[in-house]
Copies of this chain bind each other. A is one copy, B any other.
Amino acid sequence: MRFLVVNVNTTESMTAAIGAAARAVAAPGTEIVALTPFVGAESVEGNVESYLAAIAVLDRVLAYDGPYDAVIQAGFGEHGREGLQELLDVPVVDITEAAAQLAMLLGHRYSVVTTLDRTVPLIEDRLLLAGLMSRCASVRASGLSVLELEESPERTVQVIAAQARRAVQEDRAEVIVLGCGGMAGLAEAVHDATGGAPVVEGVTAAVKLAESLVSLGLSTSKMRTYAPARPKRIRHWPLHQHLR
C-alpha cells in the first residue's frame, strides 16, 4: 500500500525527516510518499499558519498524480483533517489523534509536550473536537519553536524531557505524547528522562493506524459529515493551478 504523508509546512528538510520516520516503522509493502505543500509557512505555529496549512495540504494532495491508499496529515494540533476526509475516499489519519489514541491504550492519562506556549490552545482544541480530551492530563509547552528543535539537539532533549518529567509528576500523566511532527527522534531520551514512561510520536502512530484501517478495508464514512461535496463553482481552486 502507498501512503501520502503530507507535511503541514514548506520546509523540505522537515518533510524528509517525517518521511524517514514514517518509513522506519512502515510494514513491508507500505510505501511512504512524503509531500511538501506548495503554499504556506516554513513552520506552522499559530492560527493563520494552521488554517493556511489546512488548505495547502488539501491542495498538495489534489496535485498528487497517482494512486494511494491513505493520507496522513503530519502536523500536530493543526486544522484540516476534516477537509481531507470529505475530499478523499481513502482513510485519513491525523498525527495528533493517532498519538492520543495509542497513548490512551497505554496508561490512565497522557500529556502532550509541544513547542511554543501559543500552540497549546490549538492542540487542546483539536483534542476536544476529536473527543480525546477527557484523559489528557495536560498539554505542556517547551518554549522551543519548531525550527529551534533542530538547532541544538542536546538542549532540545533537555527541555522536552524536563516538561515530560513535570507532566508525570505534577499532572499525573503516565504516557507522554510528543506534540510536534519534528520530535520523532526524541522518544528514547524522553522515555529515559521520565523514568520509563511510554513515549508516543504522532507520525509513527499514524502510519500504524493507517495500515490498520487499510488492512481491515475500512475508510471514512460518507454518510453525512464527510459525504462528497456538492458540485459547485469554486474560484481559484485548487490553488496550485491558479498560482503564479
Contact = CB atoms under 8 A, between A and B. Distances in A.
Interface in A57-76: 58
16 contacts: A10-B233, A40-B237, A41-B232, A51-B79, A97-B104, A101-B101, A104-B131, A107-B224, A108-B221, A109-B121, A128-B129, A133-B134, A134-B134, A174-B221, A196-B223, A200-B216
A80 interface: yes
Given A101-B101, A129-B125, A208-B215, A83 B47 contact: yes
Contact of A235 (B38, B55, B121, B175): B38
Nearest to A126: B129
A46 B229 contact: yes
How many of these chains are in the complex? 6
Given A25-B216, A55-B52, A223-B168, A131 B130 contact: no
A23 interface: no
B51 A80 contact: yes
A170 interface: no
Given A79-B51, A134-B131, A40 B234 contact: yes
A189 interface: no
Given A48-B83, A91-B105, A107-B224, 17 more contacts: A10-B234, A39-B237, A42-B232, A45-B230, A47-B85, A51-B51, A52-B234, A54-B79, A101-B105, A107-B225, A173-B223, A174-B224, A194-B223, A200-B216, A205-B212, A208-B211, A236-B239
